[in-house]
Amino acid sequence: MEAALLERGLVFSKHSGVMAGFARNLIKTGVYPKDFSKRIARLFRERQIGDYEFGVSISADAAQEDIRHATVIVHAIGIYLNSSQRNKKN
């Protein structure tokens, strides 16, 4: 997400800024589908649980779903960045 924002000259110092900037500049403008907002929020929430919530765990099924969401997002960002690089060369 930071790489996609940086491609537009945008830099944020906090996770919340990256998520808000990504939503404002890349989701709301139609570069990425609206459901990415929910996927990103879920991934961040579950990352917080994994890192900071002792005694709380994420099920194997939820973790597999998170992997699917992350894979879709990373793949879409890769396509965007590759396309952007090709456009700069032309």
- 53-86 pLDDT, tens digit per residue, is 888 889 999 999 999 999 999 999 999 999 987 7
pLDDT attached to residue 85: 75
pLDDT attached to residue 90: 61
The span from the CA of 31 to the CA of 82, in Å, is 14
Find the angle CA(30)-CA(61)-CA(66) to the nearest 5 degrees: 30
Does the structure show a pLDDT above 80 at 45?
yes
With CA atoms as reference, report the closest residue to 58 among 76, 69, 18, 35.
69
How far is CA 37 from each of CA 7, 48, 69, rounded to the nearest angstrom? 19, 17, 11
Does the structure show a pLDDT above 70 at 8?
yes
Residue 50: give the domain boundaries. Answer: 2-89
Residue 83, Cβ neighbours under 10 Å: how many?
Answer: 10
| Domains of the chain: total | 1
